[in-house]
Chain A
């Protein structure tokens, strides 16, 4: 039995780190349990010649392939999109692209504006100061003045345009469509002890330079200096409930498989859209036989991915290839609803630099474009460093049948039931994907690209995990209230992507972290006036 803490945070990723840092100024005793390890900069693949091979090994994005001791298996069922994540200090920010857009103001009002899904119980204006604070803490690079967003200040200049960006920019201008340098969570100058980006290449497998803003190098050093304890290799099995119906702590396993009980005054869950419902559904008790805080029956339901429609082609002259951050430009031309398109809501287009030279060879072999035999060399030289890629990040609307449950058979190495995914694409999403692919082809053709191919939806693209413990004011239609507190258990909070009401069509990390800071502020305010558990 460990000493009781005031605040127990489960998960050290995007939201867990932000909430830990924000609450640290209360001087409460705060502990974060993380199932994974710290990742040392020297461990990242770009330190070695085998860096592309490790994308299919210990730094694979799919945890079933990566299969580290610290990972848990996921039964993706028949889902056309498989869950990808990372388990370690920093969570999936270790392996994100650092593309860092905010949700748009309209994303919080989809019912009012477009008559679908539900409005959020918070809005952009409420979150705006938290977006700004998060941008400062994270260190965001970009260019002010994007007409697709309300004005916001960016701490660092944008990532370089490069040859690939020029190619895209000219094509987009020819079509008269919006494009802009992305808000990127990558240091382009020295920032808060981090060195600037030196263009190591694709950012997903972690940044050896430390320029990418994973939370192990942003929030955590500050939170730990402020007194927060971060305990690694602590895999939580369940949140426990006391006789008063409040959360009493958590049971976890250490690296040796030894069971521990960690008591706490309040529990904050930050395991994101798959890990959070898995933990809650595994937290069964007499009071909560269907999982903790699940009186609505909505824990695990309304799973939203962002279905990705990836389209690519090859230009005649060499461009940037894999040098430089893969994502540094976006287009919001098709973001807001235009019902003449045949669907509601919309998507962001991410404009990519190329893939690694080997990854691209693998992709072109898979699609039958790169032959075996003598012709291999000729064909490879027509694609090497010539790739333009685009991904439409399609808004996914909530549907209760898309859900996370506990797999009856599959378990992790500690015997904890693993998550199972049941997910199908909606008709609206399918139409959006078709539109996104068609517009991507327009752009590629305007850029003079040939040999156009693609994958839609991308199979290994379940990066963005949302909706499985949604927020709202109605306890029958939501799991947490408008400031992240469980309707059922008044000392249990959720701060990650699972509380999202709708998904928007942008990478979610910036908004996840702004929400976590907003919830932390609400906790602090209610602590001050003694209404936190009312």
Chain B
């Protein structure tokens, strides 16, 4: 399946928006969603959400009265707050792609104590737990109705 691509102007606006959605944090030592690697992943993975992303970015440009990326930072924050309220399903789809790419970045995963790897083949460990917690339930009389 082939998908449309964003224009250069749309890409600039999207990068500015992504950095505002999830900025870099020195407190946690993580990059923002506008980081070069993460943002490249976002653009590459819009795929079936491209049409929604384009719709959202058109709306963002309308709210900005031009290029969102060219606005001063204070104004960007104001426009973004309004966009979050009014963006609807297209913005939700765009925000989802940003999150999907951001939280699989090695640096972000490590900052959350996660191993940056696929679940398979190593899997995970879940503690067996103490089944004596069930004793209270075991002692109940049958609850099912005879029919």
Contact = CB atoms under 8 A, between A and B. Distances in A.
Interface in A75-134: 104-106, 108-109, 112-113, 123-124
B129 A161 contact: yes
A105 B146 contact: yes
Contacts of B96: 56, 362, 365
Which of B112, B122, B145 has the largest count of A CB atoms less than 10 A from its CB?
B145
A357 B45 CA distance: 18
Which of B22, B45, B47, B99 has the largest count of A CB atoms less than 10 A from its CB?
B99
Contacts of B146: 105
A169 B95 CA distance: 36
A48 B118 contact: yes
Given A47-B120, A147-B143, A372-B84, A180 B99 contact: no
Interface string B69-95: 000000001001000100000001001
Contacts of A201: 119, 124
Which of A49, A67, A150 has the largest count of B CB atoms less than 10 A from its CB?
A49
Given A173-B136, A366-B92, A384-B112, A123 B147 contact: yes
B102 to A, nearest CB: 8
A449 to B, nearest CB: 18
A120 to B, nearest CB: 10
Contact of A324 (B77, B99, B126, B130): B126
B128 interface: yes
Contacts of B119: 46, 51, 200-201, 208
A105 B133 contact: no
A165 B134 CA distance: 11
A358 interface: yes
Which of B117, B119, B125, B137 has the largest count of A CB atoms less than 10 A from its CB?
B119
A373 interface: yes
Interface string A443-458: 0000000000000000
A145 B138 CA distance: 7
B143 A46 contact: no
B133 A169 contact: yes
A320 interface: yes
Nearest to B105: A49
B66 interface: no
A173 B138 CA distance: 11
B118 A336 contact: no
Contact of A49 (B23, B28, B104, B127): B104
A324 B124 contact: yes
Chain B at the A interface: SS class? loop
B141 interface: yes
Nearest to B92: A366
Contacts of A160: 126-129
Given A108-B147, A362-B99, A372-B84, A199 B120 contact: no
Contacts of B133: 161, 166, 169-170, 173
B21 interface: yes
Contacts of B144: 104-106, 147-150, 332, 336
A52 B21 contact: no
Contacts of A529: none
A293 B137 CA distance: 47
Interface in A32-79: 44, 46-53, 56-57, 65, 67
A162 B126 contact: yes
A357 B137 contact: no
B65 interface: no
A506 B145 CA distance: 15
A162 B127 contact: yes
B56 to A, nearest CB: 14
Contacts of A149: 144
Contacts of A361: 99, 103
Contacts of B136: 173, 176
A163 interface: yes
A199 B100 contact: no
Contact of A161 (B25, B116, B130): B130
Given A44-B120, A336-B143, A361-B99, A179 B137 contact: yes
Nearest to A384: B112
Interface string B21-59: 111010110100000000000000101100000000000
Contact of B124 (A179, A180, A323): A323
Ranked nearest first, the 5 interchain pairs of A and B with the lowest CB-CB distance are: A161-B129, A198-B123, A323-B124, A324-B126, A109-B147
24 contacts: A50-B45, A50-B100, A53-B101, A104-B145, A105-B145, A147-B138, A148-B143, A161-B128, A172-B137, A199-B125, A209-B120, A335-B143, A336-B145, A357-B114, A358-B99, A358-B103, A361-B99, A365-B95, A365-B96, A373-B23, A377-B22, A377-B27, A377-B30, A384-B112
